[in-house]
């Protein structure tokens, strides 16, 4: 029997944004940090944030333990608003003060073109860092909006200011 082949019509989603996120464990302490995030992420997704179309958990590797998710958003503004709101803003602030034995990264891809990524507390090449020049996430490279070259300003302040990182 031949393979069943299908595709999707994305014409109703011109501003679609796909974000991959990951958390890589560096130590035993990191296992506890990672396990602590599971229920928080599940509750956050269950709350159905405005603009979140789909959330899928991913296991990238078991050794080193590296898990994450893929999310589809109806536009960057929805994603950015959620990222700058509770509970995410508290998570990001806490991680910035103490990574808890883990590294974190995200890569964002835009239907209209462009992509951006950030990699915190990671030593190994991963994703875009495996082939693209790595730069400090400061100044024009600090926020996702600015890294992606998107116009405008966020509706909410950043959960962590650049001088706090």
Is the per-residue pLDDT at 161 higher than 90? no
pTM over 0.85: yes
Output the CA–CA distances (angstroms, integers) from residue 147 to 2, 92, 125, 162, in the order listed.
Answer: 44, 18, 19, 14
What is the pLDDT at residue 151? 93
- Give strand pairing partners of 104: 23, 120
What is the pLDDT at residue 143? 93
Q: Quick check: helix, strand or coil at residue 130?
A: helix
Compute CA 131 distance to the chain's CA centroid, rounded to the nearest angstrom.
19
Output the CA–CA distances (angstroms, integers) from residue 67 to 35, 95, 152, in the order listed.
Answer: 11, 16, 32
- Gap between the Cα atoms of 66 and 68, Å rounded: 7
Tens digits of residue pLDDT in 94-132: 999 999 999 999 999 999 999 999 999 998 999 999 999
What is the pLDDT at residue 88? 92
Banded pLDDT at 164 (limits 50, 70, 90): confident
Tens digits of residue pLDDT in 37-84: 999 999 999 999 999 999 999 999 999 999 999 999 999 999 999 999
- Gap between the Cα atoms of 44 and 51, Å rounded: 13
Averaged confidence pLDDT in the chain: 95
Contacts of 57-62 with C-beta under 8 Å, sequence gap 24+, read 58/20, 58/22, 60/22, 60/24
Share of the chain above pLDDT 90, in %: 90
Banded pLDDT at 156 (limits 50, 70, 90): confident
Beta strands per DSSP E along the chain: 17-25, 52-61, 66-73, 102-110, 115-120
R_g (Cα) of the chain, nearest Å:
16
Q: Quick check: helix, strand or coil at residue 81?
A: helix
What is the pLDDT at residue 104? 97
Banded pLDDT at 165 (limits 50, 70, 90): confident
Tell me which DSSP letter residue 35 carries: H
What is the pLDDT at residue 157? 86
CB 101 within 8 A of CB 26: yes
* Residue 31 CB neighbours (<10 A): 15
The answer to whether domain 17-158 has CATH 3.40.50.1260 is: no
């Amino acid at each position: 029997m031949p393979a069943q082949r299908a595709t999707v019509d994305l014409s109703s989603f011109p501003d679609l944004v796909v974000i991959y996120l990951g958390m890589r464990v560096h130590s035993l302490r990191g296992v506890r940090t990672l396990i602590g995030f599971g229920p928080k992420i599940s509750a956050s997704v269950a709350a159905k944030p405005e603009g979140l179309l789909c959330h899928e958990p991913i296991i990238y590797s078991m050794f080193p333990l590296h898990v994450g998710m893929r999310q589809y958003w109806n536009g960057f503004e929805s994603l950015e608003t959620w990222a700058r709101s509770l509970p995410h803003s508290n998570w990001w602030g806490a991680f910035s003060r103490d990574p808890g034995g883990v590294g974190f990264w995200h890569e964002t891809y835009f239907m209209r073109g462009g992509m951006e990524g950030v990699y915190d507390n990671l030593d190994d090449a991963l994703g875009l860092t495996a082939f693209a020049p790595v730069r400090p996430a400061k100044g024009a490279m600090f926020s996702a909006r600015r890294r992606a070259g998107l116009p405008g300003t966020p509706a909410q302040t950043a959960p962590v200011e650049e001088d706090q990182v």
